[in-house]
Amino acid sequence: MIKPIKSNSQYEAALSRIYLLMQKDVRANSPESDEIEVLSVLVKEYENVHFPMPKPNPLEAIKFRMEQKGMTEGELSEILGHRSRKSEILSGKRKLSLSMIRKLNEILNIPAEVLIQSY
């Protein structure tokens, strides 16, 4: 019977079980695939509570997403408005405005909760 993960040893056991199940040829909608799914949800929740990941710095998130998309700084300037504004933002001299945050969220798919953080 699957139970909530409440300790590090239970967490390690769940990870081991997931690993063993992943080594098999598990068919969709089988009891084993259901077990993987449930254990994965439990492991994720345990990790969120016990090993939280800090949100990235807004400027680093922008640079990372630009790199992922193969964007140039000129293309970022089109999103933010002016070339000088882009330089001021990337250097940390100017803060992102609400309209910039909305555009970056919409165009680059960077979560708003990352972009509104202090930096």
- Residue 80 pLDDT level (bands cut at 50, 70, 90): confident
Q: Are 116 and 95 in contact (CB under 8 A)?
A: no
Residue 11's pLDDT is 98
pLDDT tens digits along 25-60:
999 999 999 999 999 999 999 999 999 999 899 999
Q: Is 4 helix (H, G, I), strand (E, B) or coil?
A: coil
Name every residue whose Cβ is closer than 8 Å to that of residue 12 and which is 6 or more positions away in sequence.
Answer: none
pLDDT at 83: 78
Domain boundaries, the chain: 8-50, 58-115
Structure tokens at 48: 């969120």
Q: Flag whether the pTM goes above 0.85.
A: no
Class of the domain covering 58-115 = mainly alpha
Interval 68-76 mean pLDDT? 92
Taking only the tens place, the pLDDT of each residue in 93-113 is: 999 999 999 999 999 999 999
The single-letter code of the amino acid at 117 is Q
User: Per 3-state DSSP, what percentage of the chain is helix, strand, and coil (rounded to 5)?
Assistant: 65, 0, 35
